[in-house]
Amino acid sequence: MLSSKVINESHGQDSSYFLGWQEYEKNPFHETLNPSGIVQMGLAENQLSFDLIESWLDDHPEVLGLKKNEESVFKHLALFQDYHGLPAFKDAMAKFMEKIRGSKVKFNANKMVLTAGSTSANETLMFCLANPGDAFLIPAPYYPGFDRDLKWRTGVEIVPIHCVSSNGYKITKEALEDAYERAHKLNLNVKGVLITNPSNPLGTSTTRGELDLLLTFTSAKKIHMVSDEIYSGTVFDSPEFTSVLEVAKDKNMDLDEKIHVVYSLSKDLGLPGFRVGLIYSNNEKVVSAATKMSSFGLISSQTQHLLANLLSDERFTTKYLEVNRKRLRERRDRLVSGLKKAGIGCLKSNGGLFCWVDLRHLLKSNTFEAEHSLWTKIVCEVGLNISPGSSCHSDEPGWFRVCFANMSDQTLEVAMDRVHGFVEAMVMNTNHGKQKRTMWDSRRRSLINKWVSKLSSVQCESER
């Protein structure tokens, strides 16, 4: 006999968000080895600025060699470390987070809890703030992984705050009150509101007005306010990023024990494999309990040592944030421009590693069944793994999250060629069935041959 966690399907793995990944893993695109494979555009990963980090590592070999002032620190790092973390690392993280926020917010390392990534941070907060059956309100569309991270082991429920495309998905007082009332009609005890800022999947930063509204709402309801700010350093366009802590300070709520922030280096530095996250809170009981819970998912001492040195280099972090934002903006523009040429629009974005793409005009009907059909075709026939809006709990069929920072310029070009070919085939073919599929297959083979030929030409030039 196994536990209910093992035998039920509450993990959310059957979501199209995860199913798209599974299809990609069966047939991953490679520029030369598998040019007809599926291009991964469902992964919010930042690979655009690895060269900056690798250059810093080349200039500081002593850090990877586990040395400090030419003395080995191997034994110190290898032996037992308590779950509070290395002071030097926490201080460096605090200064880095302050820099991202333009020094408008100060961070106290003693109010910081280190976790193995933001997934662990968010789940730990749920354990600290809510009991099984309690609920958090989250603006929808929202990150599909929250159905796993916040709910699976904690038993916490999610009630969507319905946001709509007609006003750019802004959070309104009416939407907040509606979500709160719906939760109570379901006999759910609302413990708080959780947002991602900038939004995943929208790629838009939460405005100061929205943050003010949220803090006013949560304060009036005497519930918690959680702001997941793991994309804070990716804001590359106006309006600039505003932290919930900055608005709380302006409202004289900066010491409020019901305001909590989640952060990670997975997106801003592109280091998801390092498993570095944290919780920041003014609530001493939350910090104490979360610190004890963090023993189940610690950051290795070696990782903390490396990043403490890297983040303490003020010159490097200043340059990195500036260059990374510039590259993200340029890559966003390339994606938006490529989609526009195919007659496809996007929600105007200013941050994150993705765009919220409008494919409503390609649906056969205004239904989520039609959205699923279109998504299946895009993944299996066009060879692009993107995330359908339904997996993000969108109320409106036809929107998709498309990631742009986890690939090379050349791979993005392949993806845009495929999009153009697909839309062209849909427009030109009024007939259904085999003829339509044959024309698209022919178009796709032509694009693949064009790409292979282009690669061969580049390789020949380099060999000369």
- Of 134, 149, 228, 417, the catalytic one is 228
Question: DSSP secondary structure string, 353-383?
Answer: SEEEEE-GGG-SSSSHHHHHHHHHHIIIII-
Q: What is the pTM of this model?
A: 0.90
At residue 305's C-alpha, the angle toward residues 303 and 310, to 5°, is 95
320 is catalytic: no
Tens-place pLDDT, residues 378-417: 999 999 999 999 999 999 999 999 999 999 999 999 999 9
The arithmetic mean of pLDDT across residues 326-345, rounded, is 97
Task: Supply 210's token pair.
Answer: 């929205």
pLDDT of 451 strictly over 80: no
Q: What is the DSSP letter of 3?
A: -
Examine the residue annotation and report whether 100 is marked as an active-site residue of this protein: no
Q: pLDDT value at position 65?
A: 78
Which of 230, 259, 299, 386 is catalytic? The answer is 230
CB 248 within 8 A of CB 260: no
pLDDT confidence of residue 62? 85
Q: Position of tokens 């990374």?
A: 324
Tell me whether residue 319 is one of the annotated catalytic residues: no
pLDDT in tens, 157-201: 999 999 999 999 999 999 999 999 999 999 999 999 999 999 999
Kindly state the tokens that stand for 448. 């693949």
- Which of 17, 24, 142, 143 is the catalytic position? 143
Rounded Cα–Cα distance for residues 451 and 381 (Å): 17
> Could you confirm whether 7 is annotated as catalytic?
no
Catalytic residue of the set 267, 344, 358, 378: 267
